[in-house]
Every structure is written in structure tokens, then in C-alpha cells.
Structure 1
Amino acid sequence: MTQLEQLLRALHEARVEFIVVGGVAARAHGSSRLTDDLDISYARSPANLARLVEALGPLNPYLRGAPPGLPFEWSVATLRAGLNFTLTTSAGAIDLLGEITGGGHYEELLAHTLPITIFGCDLQLLDLPWLVRVKRAAGRPKDLEVIAELEALQEEIDAQDT
């Protein structure tokens, strides 16, 4: 089970530049669906990669689904060499997304975020229209299933604004 608070605090305290996306973002917007991992879009600047390595290092990140004992070096060089990482940690599963289908990179997504405070941490959350957009673009059955609920939540918000 993912210890969301521990993961978010580690990222926040290390000043990692990231956006909460995926199932946790859906929950923050009011979705009733549960998720078993934290998905984030992260800035790929050298300084931010170093902060990300610092933040997650104590949580022993390892490639999720990889056979035990497979060599894996948690380092800035590893992050630079890849883009998207699905990891398991001592605090649970986290997906590091350098690019999101239908949304782009961190810098492109940043204009479509909302500030939110979760567990006392001031964070950026992908806004609801863009969350629907990226879930639709991903096209996975689990993403398509949640779109109707997210669109209903958007309709409620729009109705309150009028």
C-alpha cells in the first residue's frame, strides 16, 4: 500500500519540481476511485533531477516489476538516460513521468495546474480539464472508465461558477 503522505513530503521537503497527476489528482478533484500509486510529472533540469534522487534515495527506489536482484542504480545519470520510470519504494509505488501522452512535459503541463495543499505540503495539481485530456489520450481501460466521473465533476464545477 502506498504511503502517499510519506512520498509527497519527501518530494516537497527536497523542493522537487513536480505536478501531481493520475489517480491521486483525480481523487483530489473529487473522484471516488482509489489508486495504488502516486503519478507525478517532474521537471528534467539537472538541479531537479538531483533533488529527485535526494528525495527518493532513502526510500530505496527500484524498478517496479523488475526481477529482484536486477542491477539498478538510483542516480541522476539513470534519470537523465530515461524519461518515465515506474518505481516501487519503501513508501509504495510512484511513477515518474518525464512526458505524459496528450499532455507533454512538465513545462507544458505547468500552465494547466492548480495550487493545492495536501498533508501540509503546497503542491501543483493537474487541473481537471487537462486531467481528462491526458486520461483520454492514454486510452487505457482504467483511464477511460474514470473520464465520465471526471466530466461530471467538471459539470458540477461549471454549474457552481454560473
Structure 2
Amino acid sequence: MSGSPDRALDLRELFRLLAAGRVDYVVIGGVAAQVHGRRRTTKDLDIMPAPDDANLDRLARALAELEARPAGLAGASAPTPTPEQLRHAAIVPPLATHHGELHICNSVPGAAPYQELRARALVTDLDGIPVAIVSVDDLIAMKHALGRPGDIEDIAALTALAREGTAAGA
């Protein structure tokens, strides 16, 4: 497999393959912060998938097509997550793909239930592919609950952007 944790992130291709697989998800984390106007770098794509069995089956098929493997365990012997593993893991270990690192988060501190996140998400178009981005308020709530140093910096920037009305969807 040619994917690795340091492989350049190709969001367009990741979004294209997830859309082709009809995977229902919301983008969270650094990419979502960027969409909302936060100037920061990120080397991975964080998503929260819809938790229903059919969607997790579709996600597992998309991961197989991406040849997703646990980051740091490159090689044919490293397994792609199965639908069963996706159903029972709160956070799937980071996955290396041909198009960059992918983080699948089934449960995130501070996050509302998936259907609520999805209903409030900003849906943006990337070359004809609809991509659901977590709302700025939901993103701030998640980052507040996590409380890591980078999250605290993101909260301050996202709050200022929301107050100024310049955050996406604000």
C-alpha cells in the first residue's frame, strides 16, 4: 500500500471515494475548523459517520477501496477495519490511506448525537460532491470538551469568527 501517515492529504479524493460509496458522515476536527475560517494546518481528515449498520457497512467497503490500514502498520498484513470493528469502536485508530490519514470518530466528547450534528451541519460543495461540515457551534462544543492546547486555540479563533459573522454558516 502506498498510503502512509506522512502522505499528503488529498481531501478531494477522500471525499470523492466516500461519496461514491454513499457514506453518510460529518467532517469534524481541523478540516472543519479550516472551512469555518480558522487558519491552521492539518494533516488528516476527521469524520463522524452515521452510526447505522448499513452506513458502517458502506464505510467499511470504502475503507477497503482506500486500502486503509492502521497508521504505522503498513503492509498487506495490516487489516482494514471491518464493519463490526466500526460498530464497536468509539474511535478507530488513525488510518493511513493512499490519499492521506483518516480518523473515524464514532463518539467525541461534547458531541451531540449524530442526527443532531448532521441536521445542523453546513453542507458545502466540493467539485460537485456535497460535504457535510459540523456547525461552528458544535465544533466549539467538541473542542471545549476535549480541552487540548490546540483545541483551546481553535475555540478562541472560532468564537471570534462566529462573533464577527465570518465563520462559514454563521
For this structure pair, what is the TM-score category when the shorter chain's length is used for normalisation? 0.7 to 0.9
> How many angstroms does 1:69 deviate by?
7.0
Structure 1: gaps spanning 5 or more residues: none
Q: How does 1:1-162 map to 2 (within 5 A)?
A: 1-66=8-73, 71-85=78-92, 86-157=94-165
Aligned to 2:4: none
| Aligned-partner SS, 1:2 | coil
The TM-score, its normalising length taken from structure 1, stands at 0.88
> How many angstroms does 1:78 deviate by?
2.3
**CA 1:73/1:60 → structure 2, altered by over 3 Å: closer, same or farther?**
closer
Richer in helix (by share): 1
User: Are the aligned partners of 1:135 and 1:143 in contact in 2 as well (CA < 8 Å)?
Assistant: yes
In angstroms, what is the RMSD of aligned CA positions?
A: 1.9
The TM-score, its normalising length taken from structure 2, stands at 0.84
**CA 1:67/1:55 → structure 2, altered by over 3 Å: closer, same or farther?**
closer
Aligned-partner Cα distance in 2 for 1:119–1:153: 25
Structure 2: gaps spanning 5 or more residues: 1-7
Aligned-partner Cα distance in 1 for 2:87–2:141: 27
User: Are the aligned partners of 1:98 and 1:105 in contact in 2 as well (CA < 8 Å)?
Assistant: no
Equivalenced residues, count = 158
Identity of aligned residues (%): 35
